[in-house]
Protein backbone atom coordinates (compact mmCIF):
# COMPACT_ATOMS: atom_id res chain seq x y z
CA UNK A 1 0.00 0.00 0.00
CA UNK A 2 1.43 3.40 -0.90
CA UNK A 3 0.40 7.00 -0.43
CA UNK A 4 0.60 9.89 -2.86
CA UNK A 5 -0.02 13.28 -1.26
CA UNK A 6 -1.82 16.01 -3.17
CA UNK A 7 -1.51 19.20 -1.14
CA UNK A 8 -3.47 22.34 -1.93
CA UNK A 9 -2.64 25.26 0.35
CA UNK A 10 -4.83 28.17 1.32
CA UNK A 11 -4.73 30.71 4.12
CA UNK A 12 -7.95 30.35 6.16
CA UNK A 13 -10.88 28.06 5.56
CA UNK A 14 -13.11 30.89 4.47
CA UNK A 15 -10.93 32.08 1.58
CA UNK A 16 -10.47 29.90 -1.52
CA UNK A 17 -7.05 30.03 -3.20
CA UNK A 18 -6.28 32.11 -6.27
CA UNK A 19 -4.74 29.10 -8.00
CA UNK A 20 -3.65 25.53 -7.54
CA UNK A 21 -0.04 24.37 -7.89
CA UNK A 22 -0.54 21.93 -10.73
CA UNK A 23 -2.91 21.38 -13.60
CA UNK A 24 -4.30 24.92 -13.80
CA UNK A 25 -6.96 25.08 -16.50
CA UNK A 26 -7.10 21.31 -16.99
CA UNK A 27 -10.46 20.18 -18.36
CA UNK A 28 -12.81 17.99 -16.31
CA UNK A 29 -14.84 15.51 -18.38
CA UNK A 30 -18.55 16.27 -18.13
CA UNK A 31 -18.04 19.78 -16.76
CA UNK A 32 -17.37 23.28 -18.09
CA UNK A 33 -15.47 24.05 -14.88
CA UNK A 34 -11.72 23.57 -14.83
CA UNK A 35 -9.04 23.03 -12.24
CA UNK A 36 -8.33 26.43 -10.77
CA UNK A 37 -11.77 27.89 -11.52
CA UNK A 38 -11.64 29.21 -7.93
CA UNK A 39 -14.93 31.03 -7.30
CA UNK A 40 -17.99 29.23 -8.68
CA UNK A 41 -21.30 31.02 -9.28
CA UNK A 42 -24.73 29.58 -10.02
CA UNK A 43 -27.45 30.83 -12.39
CA UNK A 44 -31.11 29.88 -12.09
CA UNK A 45 -32.39 27.62 -14.89
CA UNK A 46 -35.91 27.18 -13.50
CA UNK A 47 -37.78 26.92 -10.24
CA UNK A 48 -40.83 24.76 -9.63
CA UNK A 49 -43.24 24.54 -6.73
CA UNK A 50 -46.49 26.23 -5.72
CA UNK A 51 -48.02 27.10 -2.37
CA UNK A 52 -51.58 25.99 -3.18
CA UNK A 53 -51.08 24.27 -6.51
CA UNK A 54 -51.79 20.70 -7.59
CA UNK A 55 -50.04 18.02 -5.51
CA UNK A 56 -47.46 17.46 -8.25
CA UNK A 57 -46.10 20.97 -7.57
CA UNK A 58 -47.13 21.58 -3.93
CA UNK A 59 -44.16 19.80 -2.39
CA UNK A 60 -44.43 18.49 1.15
CA UNK A 61 -40.82 17.39 1.67
CA UNK A 62 -38.37 16.87 -1.18
CA UNK A 63 -36.18 14.01 0.08
CA UNK A 64 -34.29 12.96 -3.04
CA UNK A 65 -33.66 13.87 -6.68
CA UNK A 66 -32.36 11.60 -9.45
CA UNK A 67 -31.44 13.38 -12.71
CA UNK A 68 -32.01 11.61 -16.02
CA UNK A 69 -29.95 11.76 -19.20
CA UNK A 70 -32.65 13.67 -21.08
CA UNK A 71 -32.45 16.60 -18.63
CA UNK A 72 -35.45 15.55 -16.56
CA UNK A 73 -35.47 14.09 -13.08
CA UNK A 74 -37.23 11.87 -10.57
CA UNK A 75 -38.33 13.42 -7.27
CA UNK A 76 -39.21 11.74 -3.97
CA UNK A 77 -41.75 13.62 -1.86
CA UNK A 78 -41.34 12.16 1.59
CA UNK A 79 -44.58 13.59 2.97
CA UNK A 80 -46.84 11.35 0.90
CA UNK A 81 -44.10 8.84 -0.09
CA UNK A 82 -44.49 9.45 -3.81
CA UNK A 83 -41.98 9.31 -6.65
CA UNK A 84 -42.73 11.64 -9.58
CA UNK A 85 -41.09 12.08 -12.96
CA UNK A 86 -40.53 15.56 -14.44
CA UNK A 87 -39.25 16.45 -17.91
CA UNK A 88 -36.41 18.81 -18.80
CA UNK A 89 -38.77 21.81 -18.57
CA UNK A 90 -39.79 20.86 -15.03
CA UNK A 91 -43.23 19.63 -16.14
CA UNK A 92 -44.71 16.69 -14.24
CA UNK A 93 -45.18 13.68 -16.52
CA UNK A 94 -46.18 10.76 -14.27
CA UNK A 95 -46.06 9.13 -10.87
CA UNK A 96 -43.83 6.09 -10.50
CA UNK A 97 -45.18 3.29 -8.31
CA UNK A 98 -46.90 4.05 -5.02
CA UNK A 99 -46.65 3.51 -1.29
CA UNK A 100 -47.32 -0.05 -0.15
CA UNK A 101 -45.86 -3.53 0.11
CA UNK A 102 -46.98 -5.15 -3.16
CA UNK A 103 -45.22 -5.34 -6.54
CA UNK A 104 -44.34 -1.86 -7.78
CA UNK A 105 -44.84 -0.39 -4.30
CA UNK A 106 -42.42 0.89 -1.66
CA UNK A 107 -42.52 1.92 1.99
CA UNK A 108 -40.16 4.89 1.55
CA UNK A 109 -38.51 6.61 -1.39
CA UNK A 110 -35.52 8.58 -0.08
CA UNK A 111 -32.98 6.06 -1.44
CA UNK A 112 -33.21 6.39 -5.22
CA UNK A 113 -30.78 5.63 -8.02
CA UNK A 114 -30.89 5.61 -11.80
CA UNK A 115 -29.86 2.37 -13.45
CA UNK A 116 -27.68 2.10 -16.59
CA UNK A 117 -30.81 1.90 -18.80
CA UNK A 118 -32.13 5.20 -17.36
CA UNK A 119 -34.76 3.40 -15.33
CA UNK A 120 -35.19 3.93 -11.60
CA UNK A 121 -34.35 1.78 -8.59
CA UNK A 122 -35.72 2.36 -5.09
CA UNK A 123 -34.08 0.80 -2.05
CA UNK A 124 -36.88 -0.38 0.23
CA UNK A 125 -35.36 -1.96 3.36
CA UNK A 126 -38.68 -2.18 5.19
CA UNK A 127 -39.93 -4.51 2.43
CA UNK A 128 -36.52 -6.19 2.16
CA UNK A 129 -35.90 -5.41 -1.51
CA UNK A 130 -34.84 -3.04 -4.25
CA UNK A 131 -37.67 -2.24 -6.66
CA UNK A 132 -36.89 -1.42 -10.31
CA UNK A 133 -38.98 0.63 -12.72
CA UNK A 134 -38.52 0.97 -16.49
CA UNK A 135 -37.84 4.39 -18.12
CA UNK A 136 -41.56 4.68 -18.97
CA UNK A 137 -42.42 4.35 -15.25
CA UNK A 138 -43.83 0.83 -15.41
CA UNK A 139 -42.89 -1.77 -12.83
CA UNK A 140 -39.96 -3.99 -13.82
CA UNK A 141 -38.99 -6.25 -10.92
CA UNK A 142 -38.24 -6.52 -7.22
CA UNK A 143 -34.89 -7.89 -6.03
CA UNK A 144 -34.76 -9.33 -2.49
CA UNK A 145 -32.02 -7.67 -0.43
CA UNK A 146 -30.91 -8.50 3.10
CA UNK A 147 -28.75 -5.60 4.25
CA UNK A 148 -29.48 -3.74 7.49
CA UNK A 149 -29.45 -0.09 6.38
CA UNK A 150 -29.48 1.55 9.80
CA UNK A 151 -31.91 4.18 10.93
CA UNK A 152 -31.05 6.78 8.30
CA UNK A 153 -30.95 6.60 4.51
CA UNK A 154 -30.27 9.28 1.93
CA UNK A 155 -27.08 10.53 0.32
CA UNK A 156 -24.25 7.96 0.12
CA UNK A 157 -26.55 5.13 1.21
CA UNK A 158 -27.59 3.43 -2.04
CA UNK A 159 -26.58 3.65 -5.69
CA UNK A 160 -26.18 1.56 -8.83
CA UNK A 161 -22.82 1.75 -10.59
CA UNK A 162 -22.30 1.86 -14.38
CA UNK A 163 -21.97 -1.95 -14.45
CA UNK A 164 -25.42 -2.37 -12.90
CA UNK A 165 -24.18 -3.49 -9.47
CA UNK A 166 -26.06 -2.30 -6.41
CA UNK A 167 -24.16 -0.65 -3.54
CA UNK A 168 -25.92 -0.44 -0.19
CA UNK A 169 -24.51 1.02 2.98
CA UNK A 170 -25.15 -1.29 5.91
CA UNK A 171 -24.38 -1.63 9.59
CA UNK A 172 -22.84 -4.80 10.97
CA UNK A 173 -24.12 -6.01 14.31
CA UNK A 174 -21.76 -5.42 17.23
CA UNK A 175 -22.68 -6.56 20.71
CA UNK A 176 -23.29 -3.70 23.12
CA UNK A 177 -22.80 -0.98 20.48
CA UNK A 178 -25.31 1.56 19.27
CA UNK A 179 -25.55 2.63 15.65
CA UNK A 180 -23.18 5.60 16.12
CA UNK A 181 -20.29 3.24 16.74
CA UNK A 182 -21.29 0.06 14.87
CA UNK A 183 -19.00 -1.06 12.02
CA UNK A 184 -20.26 -0.04 8.60
CA UNK A 185 -19.74 -1.35 5.11
CA UNK A 186 -20.92 -0.96 1.53
CA UNK A 187 -22.31 -4.28 0.35
CA UNK A 188 -21.97 -4.83 -3.41
CA UNK A 189 -24.72 -6.93 -5.02
CA UNK A 190 -25.31 -8.09 -8.57
CA UNK A 191 -28.56 -7.41 -10.43
CA UNK A 192 -30.16 -10.47 -8.78
CA UNK A 193 -29.19 -9.48 -5.25
CA UNK A 194 -26.27 -11.90 -4.91
CA UNK A 195 -23.50 -10.53 -2.72
CA UNK A 196 -20.31 -9.90 -4.68
CA UNK A 197 -18.11 -7.89 -2.36
CA UNK A 198 -18.05 -5.41 0.49
CA UNK A 199 -16.06 -2.29 1.30
CA UNK A 200 -15.43 -1.48 4.96
CA UNK A 201 -16.21 2.07 6.10
CA UNK A 202 -14.65 3.56 9.23
CA UNK A 203 -17.15 3.90 12.03
CA UNK A 204 -18.18 7.50 12.70
CA UNK A 205 -17.60 6.89 16.39
CA UNK A 206 -19.57 8.30 19.31
CA UNK A 207 -17.69 11.63 19.42
CA UNK A 208 -16.78 13.39 22.68
CA UNK A 209 -20.19 12.91 24.26
CA UNK A 210 -23.92 13.26 23.74
CA UNK A 211 -24.56 16.03 21.28
CA UNK A 212 -27.64 17.07 19.33
CA UNK A 213 -28.70 18.16 15.86
CA UNK A 214 -30.74 21.19 14.83
CA UNK A 215 -32.41 21.02 11.40
CA UNK A 216 -33.47 24.23 9.66
CA UNK A 217 -34.30 25.37 6.14
CA UNK A 218 -30.53 25.66 5.62
CA UNK A 219 -29.91 22.05 6.54
CA UNK A 220 -28.89 20.27 9.73
CA UNK A 221 -26.30 21.50 12.19
CA UNK A 222 -24.54 19.13 14.59
CA UNK A 223 -23.44 20.29 18.02
CA UNK A 224 -20.82 17.54 18.32
CA UNK A 225 -19.70 16.01 15.02
CA UNK A 226 -18.88 12.33 14.55
CA UNK A 227 -15.25 11.32 14.58
CA UNK A 228 -15.20 10.39 10.89
CA UNK A 229 -16.78 11.59 7.65
CA UNK A 230 -16.91 9.36 4.58
CA UNK A 231 -18.33 9.09 1.07
CA UNK A 232 -18.00 6.61 -1.78
CA UNK A 233 -17.84 7.14 -5.53
CA UNK A 234 -19.41 5.10 -8.30
CA UNK A 235 -16.08 3.35 -8.88
CA UNK A 236 -15.74 2.32 -5.23
CA UNK A 237 -13.29 5.08 -4.30
CA UNK A 238 -13.77 5.78 -0.59
CA UNK A 239 -13.11 9.26 0.84
CA UNK A 240 -12.45 9.42 4.59
CA UNK A 241 -11.67 12.42 6.79
CA UNK A 242 -11.87 13.77 10.29
CA UNK A 243 -14.18 16.81 10.51
CA UNK A 244 -11.48 18.56 12.54
CA UNK A 245 -8.75 18.44 9.87
CA UNK A 246 -8.74 19.24 6.13
CA UNK A 247 -7.00 16.00 5.18
CA UNK A 248 -9.04 13.60 3.05
CA UNK A 249 -7.79 10.09 2.33
CA UNK A 250 -8.92 8.59 -0.99
CA UNK A 251 -8.86 4.80 -0.70
CA UNK A 252 -9.07 2.88 -3.97
CA UNK A 253 -10.34 -0.69 -4.10
CA UNK A 254 -6.85 -1.94 -5.02
CA UNK A 255 -5.56 -0.72 -1.65
CA UNK A 256 -3.75 2.40 -2.83
CA UNK A 257 -4.31 5.64 -0.94
CA UNK A 258 -4.02 9.23 -2.10
CA UNK A 259 -4.56 12.31 -0.01
CA UNK A 260 -6.09 15.72 -0.58
CA UNK A 261 -5.23 18.33 2.01
CA UNK A 262 -5.59 22.05 2.53
CA UNK A 263 -4.44 24.38 5.25
CA UNK A 264 -7.61 25.53 7.00
CA UNK A 265 -8.28 27.23 10.30
CA UNK A 266 -11.44 26.34 12.24
CA UNK A 267 -14.13 29.03 12.29
CA UNK A 268 -15.14 30.49 15.64
CA UNK A 269 -18.75 30.81 16.73
CA UNK A 270 -19.91 34.39 16.95
CA UNK A 271 -20.70 35.32 20.55
CA UNK A 272 -24.44 35.66 19.92
CA UNK A 273 -24.44 32.49 17.83
CA UNK A 274 -22.77 30.53 20.63
CA UNK A 275 -25.33 31.92 23.05
CA UNK A 276 -28.16 30.52 20.93
CA UNK A 277 -26.50 27.10 20.81
CA UNK A 278 -26.08 27.17 24.59
CA UNK A 279 -29.77 28.07 24.93
CA UNK A 280 -30.64 25.01 22.87
CA UNK A 281 -28.32 22.85 24.96
CA UNK A 282 -30.06 24.05 28.14
CA UNK A 283 -33.48 23.42 26.59
CA UNK A 284 -32.56 19.85 25.60
CA UNK A 285 -30.96 19.19 29.00
CA UNK A 286 -34.21 20.30 30.64
CA UNK A 287 -36.19 17.90 28.47
CA UNK A 288 -33.84 14.98 29.22
CA UNK A 289 -32.04 15.77 32.49
CA UNK A 290 -30.69 12.23 32.74
CA UNK A 291 -28.81 12.67 29.44
CA UNK A 292 -27.56 16.27 29.30
CA UNK A 293 -25.70 17.27 26.10
CA UNK A 294 -22.02 18.10 26.39
CA UNK A 295 -20.83 21.70 26.23
CA UNK A 296 -20.71 23.47 22.86
CA UNK A 297 -17.13 24.08 21.65
CA UNK A 298 -16.10 27.64 20.87
CA UNK A 299 -14.67 26.60 17.49
CA UNK A 300 -16.54 24.84 14.70
CA UNK A 301 -15.13 21.77 12.94
CA UNK A 302 -13.47 22.41 9.60
CA UNK A 303 -15.50 19.91 7.53
CA UNK A 304 -19.22 19.10 7.55
CA UNK A 305 -19.77 16.52 4.81
CA UNK A 306 -18.19 14.62 1.89
CA UNK A 307 -19.93 13.47 -1.30
CA UNK A 308 -19.03 12.39 -4.83
CA UNK A 309 -20.95 13.38 -7.95
CA UNK A 310 -21.70 11.72 -11.27
CA UNK A 311 -18.55 13.03 -12.99
CA UNK A 312 -16.22 11.91 -10.20
CA UNK A 313 -15.72 15.22 -8.44
CA UNK A 314 -15.48 15.33 -4.65
CA UNK A 315 -17.69 17.86 -2.87
CA UNK A 316 -16.34 18.92 0.52
CA UNK A 317 -18.80 20.84 2.67
CA UNK A 318 -16.99 23.27 4.97
CA UNK A 319 -17.99 25.32 7.97
CA UNK A 320 -17.97 29.07 7.38
CA UNK A 321 -18.85 32.11 9.47
CA UNK A 322 -22.58 32.42 10.12
CA UNK A 323 -24.70 35.52 9.67
CA UNK A 324 -27.79 36.54 11.59
CA UNK A 325 -30.91 35.99 9.52
CA UNK A 326 -34.41 37.55 9.90
CA UNK A 327 -36.03 34.46 11.41
CA UNK A 328 -39.59 35.17 12.64
CA UNK A 329 -40.28 34.65 16.36
CA UNK A 330 -42.01 31.50 17.57
CA UNK A 331 -45.70 31.54 18.46
CA UNK A 332 -46.60 32.45 22.04
CA UNK A 333 -46.16 29.49 24.37
CA UNK A 334 -43.49 27.75 22.26
CA UNK A 335 -40.50 27.41 24.64
CA UNK A 336 -37.94 26.40 22.04
CA UNK A 337 -35.08 28.80 21.44
CA UNK A 338 -34.43 30.32 18.01
CA UNK A 339 -31.35 29.72 15.90
CA UNK A 340 -31.12 32.95 13.92
CA UNK A 341 -27.40 32.62 13.11
CA UNK A 342 -27.08 30.49 9.97
CA UNK A 343 -24.33 29.43 7.59
CA UNK A 344 -24.57 29.35 3.82
CA UNK A 345 -24.08 25.81 2.59
CA UNK A 346 -20.58 26.07 1.15
CA UNK A 347 -18.63 23.41 -0.77
CA UNK A 348 -15.12 23.01 -2.16
CA UNK A 349 -14.92 20.96 -5.36
CA UNK A 350 -11.99 18.74 -6.31
CA UNK A 351 -11.20 16.84 -9.48
CA UNK A 352 -10.40 13.47 -7.93
CA UNK A 353 -8.64 12.06 -11.00
CA UNK A 354 -5.94 14.74 -10.88
CA UNK A 355 -6.31 15.78 -7.25
CA UNK A 356 -6.73 19.39 -8.34
CA UNK A 357 -8.80 22.02 -6.57
CA UNK A 358 -11.59 23.35 -8.82
CA UNK A 359 -13.19 26.03 -6.69
CA UNK A 360 -15.69 26.99 -4.03
CA UNK A 361 -19.45 27.44 -4.39
CA UNK A 362 -21.65 29.00 -1.70
CA UNK A 363 -25.36 28.37 -2.16
CA UNK A 364 -27.94 31.00 -1.16
CA UNK A 365 -29.36 31.12 2.35
CA UNK A 366 -32.39 28.93 3.08
CA UNK A 367 -31.35 26.40 0.41
CA UNK A 368 -30.15 22.81 0.69
CA UNK A 369 -28.03 21.08 -1.97
CA UNK A 370 -29.80 17.89 -3.08
CA UNK A 371 -27.82 16.57 -6.05
CA UNK A 372 -25.99 17.48 -9.24
CA UNK A 373 -25.68 16.23 -12.81
CA UNK A 374 -22.61 17.61 -14.52
CA UNK A 375 -22.68 21.33 -13.71
CA UNK A 376 -26.42 21.41 -13.00
CA UNK A 377 -27.46 21.44 -9.34
CA UNK A 378 -30.82 20.91 -7.65
CA UNK A 379 -31.52 22.92 -4.50
CA UNK A 380 -34.35 22.64 -2.02
CA UNK A 381 -35.49 26.22 -1.46
CA UNK A 382 -38.09 28.16 0.47
CA UNK A 383 -40.66 30.54 -1.01
CA UNK A 384 -41.89 33.84 0.41
CA UNK A 385 -44.75 32.14 2.27
CA UNK A 386 -42.62 29.27 3.54
CA UNK A 387 -43.57 26.87 0.75
CA UNK A 388 -41.02 24.35 -0.43
CA UNK A 389 -39.58 24.96 -3.88
CA UNK A 390 -37.14 23.13 -6.11
CA UNK A 391 -34.53 25.34 -7.73
CA UNK A 392 -32.51 24.07 -10.70
CA UNK A 393 -29.28 26.01 -11.28
CA UNK A 394 -26.20 25.85 -13.50
CA UNK A 395 -22.67 26.26 -12.12
CA UNK A 396 -20.14 28.41 -13.96
CA UNK A 397 -16.96 30.35 -13.15
CA UNK A 398 -17.74 33.55 -11.26
CA UNK A 399 -14.84 35.28 -12.99
CA UNK A 400 -14.23 34.50 -16.68
CA UNK A 401 -10.70 33.25 -17.22
- Please tell me the predicted confidence (pLDDT) of residue 227: 82
- The answer to whether 246 and 263 are in contact (CB under 8 A) is yes
pLDDT (tens digit, 9 = 90+) per residue, 345-355? 999 999 998 77
pLDDT (tens digit, 9 = 90+) per residue, 370-398? 999 999 999 999 998 889 999 999 999 99
Question: Pick the residue with more confidence: 170 or 275?
Answer: 275
Separation of alpha carbons 183 and 308, rounded Å: 22
Read off the pLDDT of each residue in 60-87 and give the average, rounded to a whole number: 93
Long-range contacts of 327-335 (CB under 8 A, 24+ apart): 335/283
Question: Pick the residue with more confidence: 383 or 399?
Answer: 383
Length of the chain: 401
pLDDT (tens digit, 9 = 90+) per residue, 300-326? 999 999 999 999 999 999 999 999 999
User: What is the bridge-based pairing of β-strands 105-106 and 112-114?
Assistant: unpaired
Question: Pick the residue with more confidence: 15 or 157?
Answer: 157
Predicted confidence (pLDDT) at residue 60 exceeds the cutoff of 60: yes
DSSP 258-286: EEEE---PPPBPPHHHHHHHHHHHHHHHH
pLDDT > 70 fraction of the chain, expressed in percent and rounded: 87
Q: Does 3-397 carry CATH code 2.120.10.30? A: yes
pLDDT > 90 fraction of the chain, expressed in percent and rounded: 63
Q: Whole-model pTM?
A: 0.90
Give 6's pLDDT tier (boundaries 50, 70, 90).
Answer: very low
Predicted confidence (pLDDT) at residue 224 exceeds the cutoff of 60: yes
Q: From 95, 214, 186, 195, select the one nearest 143 (Cα to Cα).
A: 195
Mean of pLDDT over the chain: 87
Domain locations in the chain as residue ranges: 3-397
- The 10 Å Cβ neighbour count of residue 347 is 23
Amino acid sequence: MHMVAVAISVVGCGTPPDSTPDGIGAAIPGSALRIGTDSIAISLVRRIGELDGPPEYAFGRVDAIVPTRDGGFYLCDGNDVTVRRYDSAGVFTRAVGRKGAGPGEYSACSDLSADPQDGLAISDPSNGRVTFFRPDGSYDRGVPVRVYPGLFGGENTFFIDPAGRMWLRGWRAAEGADESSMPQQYVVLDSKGTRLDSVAVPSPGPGPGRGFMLCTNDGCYVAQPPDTLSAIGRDGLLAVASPMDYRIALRARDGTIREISRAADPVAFARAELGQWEAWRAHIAKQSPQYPPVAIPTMKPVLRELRFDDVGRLWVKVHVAAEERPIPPRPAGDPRPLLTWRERNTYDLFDVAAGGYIGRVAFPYATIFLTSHGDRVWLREEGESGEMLLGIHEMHPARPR
